[in-house]
Chains A and B, each alone.
Chain A
Amino acid sequence: MAAEASTGMNERVIRVRLKRQDGPDARPRWESFDVPVGTGSNVTSVLQWICAHPVTVEGKNTTPPVYDSGCLEEVCGSCTMVVNGRVRQACSALIDHYCPKDGDELTLEPMTKFPVVRDLSVDRSRLFSNLERMRAWVPVDGTYDLGAGPEETPEAQQTRYVLSTCMSCGCCLEACPQYTLETDEEAWDRAFVGAAVISQARYFNMHETGSSLKKVRLTELSGPGGVSDCGNAQNCVNVCPKEIPLTESIAAIGRQVTAHNIRQFFSGD
């Protein structure tokens, strides 16, 4: 058998258990595959191999599993899935870490907080819808030239740079006990937005021009699904592959929302 998923060193065969689902409403089922791997193999390369050899351990021919991937270097976030029970990017999940020995088992499942499209591919529209809800952008549209952008201190730049690296992968949402699967689009404006979106609100509130929408963001974040629905389990910060200080963002937004509501109480607007 050809060993495409391997580099030729430390050759071994691992058992991959895959949770499969033929469509959004189909019932999930499990299939197992024996996959040859070597030093440097990762979960995405294992999936590539299975797609090229879609035969289960029972010898049954099956369809190639569907999965997402893009950058293959942990930058786009599209390959996020649940590997051995924990959420992460498939492309950076090294097999040497999960299955160091011949015969070791690897379990792959789609994320549970987003509707499954097929197999390992999920629909993360809610995340993008919530970013829109939070006006996660800098408003520059207008009828005249706004001139040069505002100056920024190196300190603010440092803080904002890390926040800007969020790739909307969804890890922080998958691991959050307060973020639950919401298939009904109607509910998206009321359900908890999760750490990534709160952090993006902080990011744009810190921007000179972006801050013109600060009030709208903070009003949104005060309401149902806003920052107060966070239960401080702090899983988000522990699983974020970009090491974004999400709990600091949550506390910073907590502070902004406190001030915003006190101000609003007395000023009335």
Chain B
Amino acid sequence: MERHHFLLRRLHSLTGIVPIGLFLVMHLTTNSTILWGAFNTRIDGEGFDRRVGTFQKEVEFINELPLLLLIEITLWGAIAFHSVLGVYYATSGKGNTGAYRYQSNLRYSLQRWTGYLGFLFIVYHIATLRWGWSFLVPGGTEWSHHFAASTLAAALRGGDEGFTALGVAVSLFYFLGVTALVFHFANGLWTAAITWGLTVTVTAQKRWGYACTAIGAGLMVAGWASVVGFAALDPAEARQVEMSLHGEVPTDGGEAEARSMDVSSRGGDTIEHSGGQH
């Protein structure tokens, strides 16, 4: 730890940007297609069909990426490394925003708190949607990447039948988690430029600060659009769209049917279970 002090510090900074930050950018832009997909003219149907359809296409694209498991493991490794060191670094300081109420000091403390909150959120998010810990999801919905939008919407609402109280709590947690991580990333970009010595003068730091604010604001919009977009989705209707995308005739009993079906055993030529993530 002492001998590699510099290397560890710089790797911590680097992993925050690549791969974690880069992934965050891609993840939120992809997810926000659940709203702006309405403008995607390459998908048939009305606004709603296009939104669900565009997102589903994105998910399938990602699940077909080569070496997906390797990408995933790299990402998990980086997050674990950054988080463990992040907690260690965060506990080495002692915030003093009460006495010194400067905006930069507030951001210093927020960088630490959003790190903790972001970490909790990421663990919950991956555990429930990727590792299938459905007992942590109100309503017990299990995520399927063939029914990406509908199963996520059900998880955020706490079931198929509108919002439950626990569903609202999950949605709120998503909202806070995404907000925290976007702030953490944008502010991290700003501090990283000082860490590496890119922005030396106050003028340069200010200028880069505006750029980071713009990046953060853009990502924040994408992040919020994602959470709101999914929570506002009716799971049953979304499932109909997804089924027709997979070449299945949507029926009135489609919801119950899709639910009871074991996705991996359906084996149709349009669907291959690749165990991917999103």
A interface residues (Cβ-Cβ under 8 A, vs B) = 85-86, 175, 177-178, 180, 190, 222-224, 226, 228-229, 231-235, 238-239, 245, 247-248, 250-259, 261
Number of residues from B at the complex interface, CB < 8 A = 32
The interface residues of chain B lying within 8 Å CB-to-CB of A86 are 99-100
Query: Chain B's nearest CB lies how many Å from the CB of A257?
Result: 7
Supposing A180-B94, A247-B202, A248-B201 touch, asked if A238 and B100 sit within 8 A by C-beta, the answer is yes
Contact, CB under 8 Å: A234 / B196: no
Query: Chain B's nearest CB lies how many Å from the CB of A235?
Result: 5
The interface residues of chain B lying within 8 Å CB-to-CB of A251 are 194, 197-201, 205
Query: Chain B's nearest CB lies how many Å from the CB of A39?
Result: 28
Contact, CB under 8 Å: A224 / B2: yes
Given contacts A222-B6, A233-B105, A251-B197, 18 further A-B contacts (CB under 8 A): A85-B98, A180-B93, A223-B2, A223-B5, A228-B6, A229-B9, A232-B104, A234-B105, A238-B100, A238-B102, A238-B104, A247-B205, A248-B201, A251-B194, A251-B199, A254-B195, A255-B200, A261-B6
Contact, CB under 8 Å: A248 / B202: yes
Contact, CB under 8 Å: A177 / B95: yes
Bitwise interface map of B from 76 to 117 toward A, beta carbon under 8 Å scored 1, else 0: 000000000000010011111011101011011101000000
Which of A85, A231, A253 is within 8 Å of B108, CB to CB? A231
- 28 A–B contacts from the bound complex (CB under 8 Å): A85-B99, A86-B100, A175-B100, A177-B93, A177-B94, A177-B105, A177-B109, A178-B92, A223-B2, A223-B5, A226-B5, A228-B6, A228-B195, A231-B191, A232-B104, A232-B191, A233-B108, A234-B108, A238-B104, A245-B202, A247-B202, A247-B205, A248-B201, A251-B194, A254-B194, A255-B197, A257-B6, A261-B10
Docked CA distance A196–B107 (Å): 22
Contact, CB under 8 Å: B196 / A235: no
Contact, CB under 8 Å: A178 / B96: no
Docked complex: B53-91 residues within 8 A CB-CB of A: 89
Contact, CB under 8 Å: A228 / B10: yes
Which of B105, B107, B196 is within 8 Å of A254, CB to CB? B196
Query: Chain B's nearest CB lies how many Å from the CB of A221?
Result: 9
Contact, CB under 8 Å: A235 / B197: no
Docked CA distance A259–B5 (Å): 16
Docked CA distance A233–B197 (Å): 16
